[in-house]
Structure 1
């Protein structure tokens, strides 16, 4: 039986996090949800999570270490979402994510397991600098590569183009944009995968999990 873990979701008011939180709570996990806007507190409490109001861009590596030391699993699901231009994207999706990784890694043997919500083929992107998606692609590439080199017990989730479609299952694919071409991944499925794997006693052996909507049960992921 999976034991109850202390799980921190960073970016707790994002759409995936809001979908994943009740799944984790229903699985008897102890969920803390980190968010920035004080207006979101009641919504997060209603889902059964413990609210934690912080601005990820204002936290130093030492701040992160102090914050993360009491958790078993940390899930980075925060993102700028294209608001505020490239500078804001780099500040949240790259710099804050990297600071949190370094904070976790500084805890040594007491470090939590770390799950990063990214996208399929993030470290292999070929987005042109003039493309509006470039800053996000560069930020996620940097964060994912930093996590891979951190020494943490980690897992990178790599969904394809996100939708809000209803889903029947999952299909694991290669970690390339070509493998996911023409395929999509429901945010509902991302939440299901996140909740399933964060609640397990250990992550899958593969460090990167690229996936799209499919027919296999999420519990079959190895």
Structure 2
């Protein structure tokens, strides 16, 4: 059994991932921003931890990560406010890495976005440009600083039922950005936690036809 802390514990993907992780025998803490979100976390089998990551210090975050084996970053500002997008999706993500290192956490899993790259192609006049820039910056920080990191890059999220199968965009492949159910993103989180060999891998993916374990094993 591992102790796992999910940052952004009340997000739609996190609420789906938490019962999977608990079902796999892990102890799960879910960091949330509001006390009133606690019952939904408890209902998943996870333990709510109220902490505003946008304003928390690195020491406060490290305290929340004490004793954890894995930190999962699955938080986001949700768009709209540009300054908050950078404060959460870039700066708080970087602070979370620093805090995980300070707490001695050996594994870091982050949920990013399929298009988070330098040449993401988003028009600077589009409000989404700021999100793309923030995610790209955060991912580079994770790769440079986090211990045993895995970055998951799901494509456009849907509310469809999960299938337990994905299509991974391997390097130099022609797989383009598509769609994936949030439930399958949650299943990917649960799967990579069980597979330490996915450390050091940036995994862009869509919904697809290959069972998740099989798709991840093919990355070896």
Q: Same fold (TM over 0.5)?
A: yes
Aligned-residue offset at 1:176: 8.8
Matching residue within 185, 202, 208 for 2:196: 202
| Structure 1 gap ranges (5+) | none
Aligned-residue offset at 1:203: 4.1
In the TM superposition, structure 1's runs of 4+ consecutive aligned residues that sit over 6 Å from their partners are: 175-178
Partner of 1:131: 126
Partner of 1:114: 108
| Structure 2 gap ranges (5+) | none
RMSD of the TM alignment (CA)? 1.9
Distance 1:162 1:38 in 2: 27
Q: Is the 8 A contact 2:113 2:152 kept in 1?
A: yes
Distance 1:175 1:214 in 2: 17
The 3 A distance-change label for structure 1 pair 177 and 81 is farther
Aligned-residue offset at 1:69: 2.9
| TM norm structure 2 | 0.91
Aligned-residue offset at 1:171: 1.3
Distance 1:152 1:56 in 2: 20
Distance 1:123 1:9 in 2: 24
Q: Larger relative CO (CA 8 A, sep 6+): 1 or 2?
A: 1
The 3 A distance-change label for structure 1 pair 24 and 151 is closer
Q: Is the 8 A contact 2:162 2:182 kept in 1?
A: no
Distance 2:138 2:149 in 1: 12
Paired residues for 1:41-190 under 5 Å: 41-83=38-80, 85-107=81-103, 110-124=104-118, 125-168=120-163, 169-174=165-170, 179-181=175-177, 183-190=178-185
The 3 A distance-change label for structure 1 pair 189 and 201 is closer
C-alpha distance after superposition, 1:31-77 (max 9, x if no partner): 11000011110111111101100000122222222322310000000
Partner of 1:7: 4
C-alpha distance after superposition, 1:2-24 (max 9, x if no partner): xx100001101100000111111
Matching residue within 15, 23, 34 for 1:26: 23
